[in-house]
Amino acid sequence: MPSISMNNFRDVDVLVAGGGPSGVAAAIAAARRGANTLIVERYGRLGGAGVTSMVNPLMGRSCSPLVGEVLERFEKVQGDWEVLDLVYADMIQESGAGIMLHSWVVDPLMDGRRVTGIRVLNKQGLLSLGAKVVIDATADGDVAFKAGAEYEKGREGDGLLQPMTIMYRLGGVDKSRALLCGNEEEAFEIQVPEGSWHEVVQRGGEAGELPRNIGIIRTYESPHPGERIVNATQVNYVDGTNIEDLTRAELEGRRQALAVTKFLQQHAPGYEDCYIAQMPQSIGVRETRRFLGEEYLTKDDLVSGRKWKSAVVRDADFVIDIHNPEATSQAQAEGFAARVQPYDIPYGCLVPREIDGLLLSGRCISGSHEAHASYRVQQIVMAIGAAAGTAAAIAAQNNSQPREIDVSTVQEKLGLMATIRQ
């Protein structure tokens, strides 16, 4: 296992910026293909939004074997989110990759239009790390942005982004009586003494007990006795790459959580004695920059289940889940998320136009506002990470640029050849 000595890390084959689900998968995949790999994360824990913003469960599907391995390892710790970061750390270290925590990626090192490494800021000061290929798994695409890659933000027309949410954990719940509500459909079906859960929450908004943009209170299962996870708060008209917005959203989201908890105590059987057991380290940001790649995924591609010759993720599957940028809940006309057919993600969505030495991974890849609302979930971004890590290792080993490599080699290493229609 590599030591955490800075000197060992000055030059690597593959450098992964960001330790969320896509970055973790990218690091494991690259190291397993023999690349000298380092993953750099700004916080003290791996796992990204799933860990630091408490957004769970691990949703979505794909046919990536690496995702299957993560799920198996996670089951062995009883699906306990408090130790998911260590599950990831174990898998990364077993693969031979190095981990650097508490280190912010500040900007890329550039040679013309080619990324040649990154600069990180940590307790030791500013450090330059060289790499043959950098994978941007920062979710906001911080490396790609500073490298000058082209990007889009928000929905077509007005550029508005999906809202941000503080997800948090309640203790003191009487689980034998406490409602579980996963989505809007269930909110209509669940009955409490005052009516359907949906009606009760709507009335709470009208009466001023809840902020007006809270239209649904989702409560998810926790593996611990007396605990539930709450997904209800919603801060609209904010951009996670604007620091004033981010500050406002953190404070507003946490204040909303207080109102939601009080509402549950007063209106939801089983929650009378609940209390806030844990707030997240950071507010959850659903959507920011989407970089333009050699290929681009659209809503039509997902709804029709389009197959691509250059697929590096097969059978990705999750609804187009757009939380309303302007008001409460999901944005689709009928009130619920739009269905998709299992779809491919082509390699070109990971290759930024015109910038070399760089691959995109996770929720910042090339696709529309609607397509992003499906592939952003954790199991799918992990599959994207597995593809990015594999491609980066191949490029580094061949001393070539990510855009130059033969995609069929990536598909073969990912075990996808049998499923690709030529």
Query: Given the rule CB under 6 A, which of 45-53, 201-209, 243-251, 400-408 is the region that contacts ligand FAD?
Result: 45-53
> Does residue 59 touch ligand FAD according to CB under 6 A?
yes
Q: Which two tokens stand for residue 361?
A: 């991974």
376 contacts: CB under 8 Å, gap ≥ 6: 286, 287, 363
| Shortest distance in whole angstroms from residue 322 CB to ligand FAD | 12
Site string for ligand FAD, 286-305 (x = CB under 6 A): x-------------------
* Of the residues 27, 28, 30, 58, which one makes contact with ligand FAD according to CB under 6 A: 58
> Does residue 87 touch ligand FAD according to CB under 6 A?
no
Give the nearest residue (CB) to ligand FAD.
Answer: 20
> Does residue 49 touch ligand FAD according to CB under 6 A?
yes
Tracing tokens 């003191």 back to the chain, one arrives at 172
Number of H helices, E strands in the chain: 12, 17
> Does residue 43 touch ligand FAD according to CB under 6 A?
yes
Q: Which two tokens stand for residue 112?
A: 């013309």
How far apart are alpha carbons 360 and 143 in whole angstroms?
A: 9
Nearer to ligand FAD, 39 or 395 (CB): 39
Q: Which two tokens stand for residue 146?
A: 């500073």
Nearer to ligand FAD, 241 or 265 (CB): 241
Nearer to ligand FAD, 348 or 362 (CB): 362
Site string for ligand FAD, 350-389 (x = CB under 6 A): ------------xx------------xxx--x--------
> Does residue 50 touch ligand FAD according to CB under 6 A?
yes
| Shortest distance in whole angstroms from residue 19 CB to ligand FAD | 5
**DSSP 3-state of 143:** helix
**DSSP 3-state of 67:** helix
Entry field: residues in the chain: 422
* Of the residues 16, 22, 355, 373, which one makes contact with ligand FAD according to CB under 6 A: 22
Using CB atoms within 10 A of its CB, is residue 176 exposed (0-12), middle (13-18) or buried (19+)? exposed
> Does residue 284 touch ligand FAD according to CB under 6 A?
yes
Query: Given the rule CB under 6 A, which of 53-61, 173-181, 300-308, 407-415 is the region that contacts ligand FAD?
Result: 53-61
In the beta sheet, which residues pair with residue 136?
Answer: 17, 360
Phi, psi for residue 374 in degrees, rounded to 5: -105, -50
| Shortest distance in whole angstroms from residue 398 CB to ligand FAD | 26
Q: Using the CB atoms, write b or e for 102-117: b if 16+ within 10 Å.
A: ebbbeebbbeeeebbb
Tracing tokens 């409460």 back to the chain, one arrives at 328
Using CB atoms within 10 A of its CB, is residue 272 exposed (0-12), middle (13-18) or buried (19+)? middle
Q: Tell which positions 127-186 bind ligand FAD, by CB under 6 A.
A: 137-140, 142, 165, 167
Nearer to ligand FAD, 62 or 411 (CB): 62
The answer to whether the CB of 402 falls within 8 A of the CB of 115 is no
* ∠ CA 294-298-303, rounded to 5°: 140
Could you list the residues that contact ligand FAD (CB under 6 A)?
Answer: 17-23, 40-43, 48-50, 53, 55-60, 104-105, 137-140, 142, 165, 167, 284-286, 362-363, 376-378, 381
